[in-house]
Amino acid sequence: MSDPSQTGASATGAAAATSSTTSSSVSVGTKIRQDIITGTHAPGSKLREAALAKQYAVSRIPVREALRSLEAEGLVESRPYSGSMVAPSPVEDAEDLFEIRIVLESATAKRAAKRSAEQSSGAAPDDRWHGVRKEISDILAEGDVVIEQERYEDLAVLNMRFHFAVAELSGSVSFISLLRQISGKIEWLYSLNVTRRGPQAWPEHREIIAAIDAGQEAKAVEVMARHVRRSRDSYFAMMAEKTP
């Protein structure tokens, strides 16, 4: 029925594996999220706890916990004693989601540039900074390889990882957690309509990181905002040609 392989490990779950234990609750959550994103559970359809429990071969308790998490992510809506249902399609909120990305990611880029300057001047050294900065270089390099081999599916994941890594460079846990909040809907949005802009967009990431490295806050904001705006325009262009 359901594939036994753990597909999970979405771009979001990049947390350091301090504890290898993955409670069945989060595992079920990952699967339900996947089923929502891929459309197996259609928007607006009811999510019955008993059915989900049977489907994923667990009791209702982990299912409930998973539903709560998904509710926080905005993928599920619940009402007491009335149950849960899949949230409306994120396509309705596409404009909002991109605007949120524009304002939030512009802010993280600005912060990252600021912190970069601080690192260079040695004002407030942070050991983790260099690690994250190196990870970004790795991501960019891996992206080149992936583009070379035309494995665009993997590029989407790398894209997510890049943007979250920039957020980490900003050093703001609040911004990171907010971005994580909407990442589910963003992923959902993209999966409904796989954009092929990846290869063209990739070089823009180097522009972004260059501005950050140079400590140019205004430039970083401008480049990041333009990058996300282009992503948005590409999305809507694709939507338009899909439904003429």
Partner DNA sequence: GCTTAACGTTTTGTATACAACTTCTGAGAA
Partner DNA sequence: TTCTCAGAAGTTGTATACAAAACGTTAAGC
Q: How many residues does the chain have?
A: 244
- Maximal CA-CA distance, the chain: 58
Q: Of DNA, a copy of itself, none, which one sits near residue 72, judging by CB under 5 to 8 A according to partner kind?
A: a copy of itself
> CA torsion sign, 6 to 180 to 173 to 211?
positive
Cβ-based nearer residue to DNA, 78 or 172: 78
The Cα–Cα gap between 91 and 239 comes to: 10
The Cα–Cα gap between 47 and 57 comes to: 15
Site string for DNA, 178-217 (x = CB under 7 A): ----------------------------------------
Phi, psi of 83 (to 5 degrees): 95, -175
Tell the smallest beta-carbon distance from residue 65 to DNA (Å).
6
> Residues interacting with a copy of itself, by CB under 8 A?
18-19, 21-23, 26, 61, 64-65, 68-69, 72, 74, 79-82, 93, 96-97, 99-100, 103-104, 106-107, 172-175, 177-178, 181-182, 185
Q: Of DNA, a copy of itself, none, which one sits near residue 207, judging by CB under 5 to 8 A according to partner kind?
A: none
Residues 56-85 touching DNA, rule: CB under 7 A, are 58-62, 64-65, 78-84
Q: Of a copy of itself, DNA, none, which one sits near residue 93, judging by CB under 5 to 8 A according to partner kind?
A: a copy of itself
Buried b (16+ CB within 10 A) or exposed e, 27-52: bbbbbbbbbbbeeebebeeebebeeb
Alpha-carbon radius of gyration of the chain: 19
- Note the residues at the interface with DNA (CB under 7 A): 19-21, 23-25, 46-50, 58-62, 64-65, 78-84
